[in-house]
Amino acid sequence: MESKGYNRFRVIFAHVLLIILSFLCLFFFYILIVNATRPHAEIQKGFSILPGGYLVTNFKNMISDGTYPIVSGVINSIIVAGCSAALCTYFSALTAYGLYAYDFKLKKVAFTFIMAILVMPTQVTAMGFLRLITKMNMDDTLFPLIIPSIASPAVFYFMYSYLQSSLPLSLVEAARIDGSREFRTFNQIVLPIMKPAMAVQAIFTFVGSWNNYFVPALVLETKSKMTVPVIIALLRGADYMNRDMGKMYMMIATAILPIIVVYLFLSKYIIAGVALGGVKG
């Protein structure tokens, strides 16, 4: 009886704790959405639980704002994050397959080199990267935000670990004996096996690229080419006397909406990714 009572207490405590944590996580998002529906004057008065009736007005003001082009920022972020996710997952999977399925003299050296890059912070190579893209006339474009995503040591390691636990080399050898070429083997046999891992890493790469501020702030100068994090950062420097808080809350809500949609539709893959991370070879 004591054991049953203790277990019941643990279940109740866990549920109460989860409810409190969920409330703390979702409360600020709710306030953001509520303030996006209120006018500037009401927001200045203080906190409100109930939404206002200025949703359409704030949205129109946001659309017509040329100083902080959040709509073009969202489009730019979708292009950058989408292309980065696609390139990163495919080429990381291809690299992982190459190191896993082939034996060559410098295999261990290549693996160690990739892992060494993993611990190198972006800030260390920032100035050299900026000089390189300037010489290539790629400054103030979206290309420097997309092309480097092809090489991602963290995604490569995840893919490599997944291949070790999920892809028997006998399957690759059988495909070679049947006359299948290497790229055909990878695209038609290996990729379907790696779909769960690729889906998870595509989500994480998309979110990471969407939230990236350092590199876009370093590269982009034209407002029409800026991504969401850079434009949101510009809001902090806005003139306080001419600031429309309702419009700004609408901008921030619009900026995070794609991430929320992606998470709601693909959350099962994120949960699967946690499970994949614990798979042992």
- pLDDT tens across 161-197, in order? 888 888 888 888 888 888 888 888 888 888 888 888 8
CATH 1.10.3720.10 maps onto the chain at 62-277
- Measured over all CA atoms, what is the biggest interatomic distance in the chain, rounded to whole angstroms? 75
Global pTM value: 0.81
> At CA 233, angle to CA 37 and CA 31, rounded to 5?
30
Rg of the chain taking only CA atoms, in angstroms: 24
- pLDDT tens across 119-166, in order? 777 777 778 888 888 888 888 899 999 998 888 888 998 898 888 888
What separation, in Å, do the N-terminal and C-terminal C-alpha atoms of the chain show? 42
pLDDT at 139: 85
The single residue listed with the structure tokens 């809500």 is 253
Mean of pLDDT values over 223-249 = 79
pLDDT at 76 over 90: yes
pLDDT at 5 over 80: no
17 to each of 6, 26, 82, how far by Cα in Å?
Answer: 16, 14, 36
pLDDT at 60 over 70: yes
Q: What is the DSSP letter of 124?
A: G
Phi and psi at 142, nearest 5°, equal -85, -10
pLDDT at 152: 86
Q: Indicate the CATH number for domain 62-277.
A: 1.10.3720.10
- pLDDT tens across 22-45, in order? 888 888 888 888 998 998 888 888
pLDDT at 280: 43
pLDDT at 275 over 70: no
Pair of tokens at residue 169: 């080399």
pLDDT at 58 over 80: yes
- pLDDT tens across 87-121, in order? 999 999 999 998 888 888 888 888 888 888 887 77
| Alpha helices, H only, the chain | 2-35, 40-45, 55-63, 70-101, 107-118, 126-135, 143-146, 153-166, 169-177, 182-185, 191-193, 195-211, 214-219, 228-235, 245-277
